Amino acid sequence: MKELALKYGCNPNQKPSRIFMEQGELPVEVLSGAPGYINFLDALNAWQLVRELKQATGLPAAASFKHVSPAGAAVGLPLSTTLRKIYFVDDLPVELSPIASAYARARGADRMSSYGDFVALSDECDEATALLLKREVSDGVIAPGFTPEALAILQAKRNGKYNVIKIDATYKPAPTECKQVFGITFEQGRNEIDLTSPVLFENIPTKNKEFTPEARRDLLIALITLKYTQSNSVCYAKDGQAIGIGAGQQSRIHCTRLAGQKADIWWLRQHPKVMSLPFVEGIRRADRDNTIDLYIGDEAEDVLRDGSWQQFFTRQPEPLTMDEKREWIAQNTQVSLASDAFFPFGDNIERAHKSGVQYIAQAGGSVRDDHVIMTCDKYGIAMAFTGVRLFHH
């Protein structure tokens, strides 16, 4: 098939809409549902991300995409008991496979942003992954294949309207890519930069020059994630997954703050008070996620005041105080941080330090590199100047 008609473009008034190949056949097959324009943008960007993560790490990878940027990305490392609980996968009736663990991590990093996501899997979707997808609010999934059990589960989701896309894993696009803006065609070479090259870690200007194997892995995950994230962008990573992504901000410090706030929320969700919240039986997953987000944040009173807490909890929980939050966040360590371009000022490092960052990979090349290096040295942070910019638009 060379062409697939879509319902409409980014908005309902943008018609006609289609995807098509000028040469050859489309490398995708719709097995269920009717994916739209934005669905395919998410699917194809997310597929590139997970394919590259798998190639770089040798591990199954998954991504959760919303509006052409990842809300989460991860590789299939085993989940601790704590992560199983905060990702709400501890009750799955089958054992988590590596690809299911990857998606649990990707979805669990920022569950608020992942609501209604489009999912990409580097490996065949199996029953365990399909069962996770079945119970989440999600628009669709793209993968190189689906087991019969997984396909049956997904084709039944939303009465057959859930989008299931199979992609040809051997498909290789042309070395140049084009797009039109205001009737004018843009053309550029595809971004085929090799982020696994050891050259990226040869320039380490900080006093601390030691990167653990886990830090190098997490920085690689962060850099590949940024390669497919709308710029400006910053990514915090730990334990084989992104834990905070700041995308599409005009100011880099705003990226660092946004991603850092998300990383802090990810860590705060592991606080004993949060993990023991007494939710009412049968609360919807989205309501539970929103309630946790409010409880952790600055508007906790919205779910703790009399007349409100009864909707969510069997008893009124104690607040999570500001001091408790600070003390808990201070325990988060070994966090890695990557940026899609240089940090212009040391304020980014100051903010990163507050969220436990000890390893950084960034392009370098700012006129204030000396100040950035000095700030890293103040906290004993190891930083590599990669010399690589990863803007994506």
The per-residue DSSP string of 31-60 comes to: EES---HHHHHHHHHHHHHHHHHHHHHSS-
Q: Which residues contact 30 (CB under 8 A, 6 or more apart)?
A: 4, 163, 164, 165
Residue 67 designated active-site: yes
- Select from 336, 351, 346 the least CA-distant residue to 375: 346
Runs of H (alpha helix) within the chain: 37-57, 81-86, 98-108, 111-114, 127-134, 148-156, 213-227, 252-268, 272-275, 285-296, 301-304, 322-329, 347-354, 369-379
What pLDDT does residue 339 have?
97
Residue 166 designated active-site: no
Catalytic residue among 54, 66, 157, 238: 66
What pLDDT does residue 145 have?
98
What pLDDT does residue 330 have?
97
Catalytic residue among 13, 159, 172, 393: 393
CA 93, distance to chain mean position in Å, is: 26
**pTM strictly above 0.85:** yes
Q: Is 183 left (phi over 0), alpha (psi -120 to 50) or beta?
A: left
Catalytic residue among 67, 85, 254, 273: 67
- Select from 118, 173, 116, 120 the least CA-distant residue to 142: 120
CA 54, distance to chain mean position in Å, is: 15
How far is the CA of 12 from the CAs of 19, 42, 57, 104, in angstroms? 16, 18, 40, 32
The token duo for 281 is: 């039986």
The token duo for 312 is: 């969510």
In 3-state terms, what secondary structure has residue 97?
Answer: coil
Tell me the angle at which helices 347-354 and 369-379 cross, rounded to the nearest 10 degrees. 30
Q: Over its length of 393 residues, how does the chain's per-residue pLDDT go in tens digits? A: 899 999 999 999 999 999 999 989 999 999 999 999 999 999 999 999 999 999 999 999 999 999 999 999 999 999 999 999 999 999 999 999 999 999 999 999 999 999 999 999 999 999 999 999 999 999 999 999 999 999 999 999 999 999 999 999 999 999 999 999 999 999 999 999 999 999 999 999 999 999 999 999 999 999 999 999 999 999 999 999 999 999 999 999 999 999 999 999 999 999 999 999 999 999 999 999 999 999 999 999 999 999 999 999 999 999 999 999 999 999 999 999 999 999 999 999 999 999 999 999 999 999 999 999 999 999 999 999 999 999 999
What pLDDT does residue 1 have?
82
Burial code (b: 16+ CB inside 10 Å, e: under 16) for 262-295 equals bbbbbbbbbbebbeebeeeeeeeeeebbbbbbbb
Q: What letter represents residue 39's amino acid?
A: N
Catalytic residue among 163, 232, 332, 348: 232
